[in-house]
């Protein structure tokens, strides 16, 4: 039987709870959460390899190669680098195609920021792959809880939770792997309060995945500096002028007390675009939609939160298509793939056929819907109405989820996926360095467009 995770410390403060979580014995972590964390590792490795040839990756690899340093950790598509630099590059590349997992409680992508930090430190320290997964799990749980404390207002103000809350998760994962003392973990959190950053204005640009890379690198940096003795504020989270109080006008401290293990609600992407659009895509994929030329109008109802995130009416680039309800709806209606990242070229944003159909799509905010829900109605030229709804929170059983992620891996990487899939199947026997080696295969052939 799984032991209950204790997130409430003796004095009840948020920072003490997070330190408790970081130091939780591995045997006390729920098996269901550990299994999901392993699937998230497979999924993150696939996303990183699939994004290896993205321009943002080329830019960052060139930068860290110019800086040089001790080759401590693996870099996606490149040569080994210092742990902090590797985390920066791998965090950015792993989020570059926007295909990684999401936790809707705070709207963040845990794997993008936390796995790169955990892997880099574990490689540097020559630890096991199992240690990477365990550190990721406690870091992800911490980031979700801190993100929930920051609340909706933090995200709605324009902060990118993957980068802000994610930086704290990356810090705690790195601190665990470095075996920091309780006082050192406190210092690392305090240092992270000055380093955590990321804005939603970057969505649709290379700046969005860079946010994730910054979070991963900050986690490594803060944990290493705390180990070296750098001091910080006693409470960089909830203390006076701490991170929460300066970054949210409506924090919810009680959110950190939620029962159970919140990570278990993680949602994995099966479409290479903003997760806020996936419920709509699933509706359109599963209704009898017929000939797209017979569509007169499409109404999409979604949570109002998504209107400022993924509702670009006329995207200019392939990246912006990933954040466009109308364009993505048009892709599904015309049987264009939303599962292959290579379909999202800049030429796609100039596709006249998609543009004509996208112009028929109206997106409405509906406060009765959660962030995981969408409802769609199609009206045909002959007056028929076709309606449907979907909720992403209804996750499939673990074996079915694994099968879907394996299919995604093979569709994204072809034969290369088999090495990743096989490695995950024997994760308990591998080292962190063997996992890191999966990132350094030759980059894929660059796409056109």
Q: Does any domain span residue 310?
A: yes
CATH number at residue 235: 1.10.4100.10
Q: Do 130 and 262 belong together in one domain?
A: yes
Helix (H, G, I), strand (E, B) or coil at 363: strand
Strands of the sheet with 361-365, listed across from one edge: 361-365, 295-302, 373-380, 385-391
Q: Do 108 and 126 belong together in one domain?
A: yes
- Burial class of residue 292 (count of CB atoms within 10 Å of its CB; 0-12, 13-18, 19+): middle
Can you tell me the distance from the alpha carbon of 220 to that of 177, in angstroms, rounded to the nearest whole number? 10
Is the pTM of the predicted complex or chain greater than 0.85?
A: yes
pLDDT of residue 339: 86
**DSSP secondary structure, 167-203, as one string:** HHHHHHHHHHHTT--HHHHHHHHHHHHHH---BGGGT
Can you tell me the distance from the alpha carbon of 179 to that of 12, in angstroms, rounded to the nearest whole number? 23
Can you tell me the distance from the alpha carbon of 439 to that of 48, in angstroms, rounded to the nearest whole number? 7
| Number of alpha helices (DSSP H) and beta strands (DSSP E) in the chain | 17, 4
With beta carbons less than 8 A apart as the criterion, state whether 168 and 196 touch: yes
pLDDT of residue 24: 96
pLDDT of residue 204: 81
The end-to-end CA distance of the chain, in Å, is 53
Q: Does any domain span residue 8?
A: no
Q: Does any domain span residue 396?
A: no
Write out pLDDT tens, residues 79-99.
Answer: 999 999 999 999 999 999 989
Q: Do 364 and 413 belong together in one domain?
A: no
In 229-384, where does DSSP find H-type helix?
243-247, 278-286, 318-321, 325-333, 352-358
343-362 CB burial, b ≥16 within 10 A, e <16 = bbbbebbebeebeebbebbe
- Count how many Cα atoms sit within 13 Å of the Cα of residue 142 in the half-sphere of its side chain: 35
Q: Does any domain span residue 2?
A: no
pLDDT of residue 16: 96
| Number of structural domains the chain divides into | 2
Q: Does any domain span residue 88?
A: yes
Question: For 57, phi and psi rounded to 5 degrees?
Answer: -70, -40
Angle at 46 between CA 41 and CA 48, to 5 degrees: 95
Q: Do 173 and 89 belong together in one domain?
A: yes
CATH number at residue 337: 3.30.1330.120
Q: Do 374 and 434 belong together in one domain?
A: no
Q: Do 132 and 192 belong together in one domain?
A: yes
List, in sequence order, every beta strand (DSSP E) within 63-218: none
Q: Does any domain span residue 356?
A: yes
**DSSP secondary structure, 400-413, as one string:** HHHHHHHHHHHHHH
Q: Does any domain span residue 383?
A: yes
- Compute the Cα dihedral for 46, 52, 54, 60 and give only its sign: positive
Q: Do 177 and 283 belong together in one domain?
A: no
Q: Do 36 and 158 belong together in one domain?
A: yes
Q: Do 121 and 221 belong together in one domain?
A: yes
Contacts (Cβ under 8 Å, ≥6 apart) of 197: 163, 164, 167, 211, 214
pLDDT of residue 341: 85
With beta carbons less than 8 A apart as the criterion, state whether 77 and 61 touch: yes
Regions in the chain scoring below 50 on pLDDT: 1-10, 443-449
With beta carbons less than 8 A apart as the criterion, state whether 180 and 124 touch: no
Write out pLDDT tens, residues 339-394.
Answer: 888 889 999 999 999 999 999 999 999 999 999 999 999 999 999 999 999 999 98
Q: Does any domain span residue 398?
A: no
Structure tokens at 179: 């075996």
Structure tokens at 160: 């990118």
Q: Do 320 and 240 belong together in one domain?
A: no
pLDDT of residue 441: 67
Q: Do 140 and 234 belong together in one domain?
A: yes
Can you tell me the distance from the alpha carbon of 273 to that of 271, in angstroms, rounded to the nearest whole number? 6
Contacts (Cβ under 8 Å, ≥6 apart) of 50: 97, 99, 341, 412, 413, 444
Helix (H, G, I), strand (E, B) or coil at 101: coil
**Domain extent for 29:** 14-267+404-439
Q: Do 22 and 158 belong together in one domain?
A: yes
- Compute the Cα dihedral for 231, 234, 238, 240 and give only its sign: negative
């Amino acid at each position: 039987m799984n032991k209950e995770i204790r997130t409430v410390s003796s004095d009840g403060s948020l920072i003490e709870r997070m330190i408790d979580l970081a130091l939780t014995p591995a045997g006390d972590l729920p098996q269901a959460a550990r299994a999901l964390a392993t699937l998230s590792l497979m999924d993150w490795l696939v996303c990183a390899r699939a994004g290896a040839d993205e321009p943002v990756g080329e830019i960052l690899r060139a930068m860290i190669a110019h800086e040089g340093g001790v080759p401590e950790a693996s870099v996606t598509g490149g040569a080994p680098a210092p742990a902090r630099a590797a985390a920066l590059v791998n965090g950015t590349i792993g989020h570059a195609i926007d295909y990684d997992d999401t936790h809707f409680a705070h709207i963040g992508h845990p794997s993008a920021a936390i796995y790169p930090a955990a892997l880099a430190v574990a490689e540097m320290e020559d630890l096991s792959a199992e240690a990477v997964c365990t550190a990721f799990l406690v870091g992800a749980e911490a980031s979700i809880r801190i993100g929930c404390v920051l609340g909706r207002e933090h995200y709605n103000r324009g902060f990118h939770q993957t980068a802000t809350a994610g930086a704290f998760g990356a810090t705690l994962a790195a601190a665990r792997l470095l075996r920091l003392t309780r006082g050192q973990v406190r210092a690392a959190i305090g240092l992270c309060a000055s380093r955590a950053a990321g804005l939603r204005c970057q969505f649709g640009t290379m700046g969005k995945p860079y946010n994730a890379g910054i979070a991963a690198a900050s986690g490594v940096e803060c944990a290493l500096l705390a180990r070296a003795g750098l001091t910080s504020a006693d409470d960089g989270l909830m203390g006076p002028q701490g991170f929460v109080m300066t970054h949210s006008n409506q924090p919810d401290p009680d959110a950190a007390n939620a029962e159970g293990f919140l990570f278990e609600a993680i949602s994995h992407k099966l479409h290479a675009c903003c997760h806020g659009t996936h419920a709509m895509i699933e509706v359109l994929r599963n209704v009898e939609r017929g000939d797209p030329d017979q569509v007169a109008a499409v109404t999409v109802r979604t949570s109002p939160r998504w209107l400022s995130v993924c509702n670009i009416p006329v995207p200019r680039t392939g990246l912006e298509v990933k954040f466009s309800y109308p364009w993505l709806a048009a892709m599904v209606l015309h049987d264009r793939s939303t599962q292959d990242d290579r379909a999202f070229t800049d030429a796609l944003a100039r596709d006249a056929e998609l543009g004509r159909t996208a112009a028929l799509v109206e997106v409405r905010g509906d406060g009765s819907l959660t962030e995981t829900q969408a409802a769609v109605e199609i009206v045909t030229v002959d007056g028929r109405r076709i309606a449907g709804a979907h909720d992403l929170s209804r996750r499939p059983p673990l074996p079915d989820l694994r099968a879907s992620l394996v299919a995604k891996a093979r569709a994204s990487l072809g034969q290369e996926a088999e090495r990743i899939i096989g490695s995950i199947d024997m994760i308990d026997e591998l080292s962190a360095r063997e996992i890191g080696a999966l990132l350094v295969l030759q980059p894929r052939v660059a796409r056109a467009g």
